[in-house]
Structure 1
Amino acid sequence: VKGGGVPCLVAVHQDASGKAMELGLSYCSAIGGGRSGIIETNFRQECETDLFGEQAVLCGGATELVQAGFETLVQAGYQPEVAYFEVLHELKLIVDLMYEGGIARMNYSVSDTAEFGGYLSGPRVIDADTKKRMEQILAEIQDGTFVKRLVANVEGGNSELEALRKKNAEHPIEVTGKKLRDLMSWVDRPITETA
Structure 2
Amino acid sequence: MARIYKDKDADTSVLRDKTIAVLGYGIQGRSWALNMRDSGLRVIIGVRPGKSMELARQEGFEVYPVGEAVKRADVIAVLLPDMAQPEVWRSEIEGNLRRGATVIFAHGFNIRFGLIKPPEYVDVVLIAPKAPGKAVREEFQRGWGVPALVAVHQNFTGNALKTALAVAKANGFTRVGVIETTFAEETETDLIGEQNVLVGGLLQLLKYGFEVMVELGYQPEVAYFEAINEAKLIMDLIWERGLTGMLLGVSETARYGGLTVGPYVLDESVKERMKKAAERVRNGEFAKEWVAEYQKGAPRLRELLEGIRNSQVERVGEELRRMMRGGA
**Aligned AA for 2:196?**
A
Q: Take 1:152 and 1:38, find their aligned partners in 2: how far apart are those partners?
A: 34
Whether 1:115 aligns to 2:255 is yes
How many residues align structurally? 187
Q: Take 1:101 and 1:43, find their aligned partners in 2: how far apart are those partners?
A: 30
Q: Take 1:32 and 1:61, find their aligned partners in 2: how far apart are those partners?
A: 31
Following superposition of structure 1 onto structure 2, how do residues 20-169 of structure 1 map, counting pairs within 5 Å? Answer: 20-169=160-309
Q: Secondary structure at the match of 1:17?
A: coil
Give CA-to-partner distance per residue, 1:156-175, whole Å, 9 cap, x none.
Answer: 11101001101111121001
Q: Take 2:257 and 2:167, find their aligned partners in 1: how far apart are those partners?
A: 45
Give CA-to-partner distance per residue, 1:78-97, whole Å, 9 cap, x none.
Answer: 00000000111111111111
Q: Which residue of 1 aligns with 2:67?
A: none
Whether 1:171 aligns to 2:311 is yes
Q: Take 2:252 and 2:158, find their aligned partners in 1: how far apart are those partners?
A: 55
**Which has the larger share of strand?**
2
Q: Take 2:207 and 2:146, find their aligned partners in 1: how far apart are those partners?
A: 31
Q: Which residue of 1 aligns with 2:89?
A: none
Q: Which residue of 2 aligns with 1:191?
A: none
TM-score, with length taken from structure 2: 0.56
Q: Take 1:4 and 1:108, find their aligned partners in 2: how far apart are those partners?
A: 29
Give CA-to-partner distance per residue, 1:52-90, whole Å, 9 cap, x none.
Answer: 000010000000000000000000010000000011111
Q: Take 2:280 and 2:224, find their aligned partners in 1: how far apart are those partners?
A: 32
Q: Take 1:98 and 1:35, find their aligned partners in 2: how far apart are those partners?
A: 23
Shifted more, 25-34 versus 172-181: the winner is 25-34
**Residues 30 and 186 (structure 1), Cα distance of their counterparts in 2 relative to 1, 3 Å cut:** farther
Q: Take 2:204 and 2:147, find their aligned partners in 1: how far apart are those partners?
A: 29
Identify unmatched segments of 5+ residues in structure 1. Answer: 188-195
Q: CA deviation at 1:17?
A: 1.0
TM-score, with length taken from structure 1: 0.93
Instruction: Indicate the percent of aligned positions where both proteins have the same amino acid.
Output: 44
Aligned with 1:14 (options 141, 154, 157)? 154
**Aligned AA for 1:59?**
V
Q: Secondary structure at the match of 1:9?
A: strand
Identify unmatched segments of 5+ residues in structure 2. Answer: 1-138
RMSD: 1.3
Shifted more, 100-109 versus 44-53: the winner is 100-109
Q: CA deviation at 1:142?
A: 0.8
Q: CA deviation at 1:41?
A: 0.2
Q: CA deviation at 1:3?
A: 2.3
**Aligned AA for 1:93?**
L
Higher-Rg structure is: 2
Q: CA deviation at 1:186?
A: 7.4
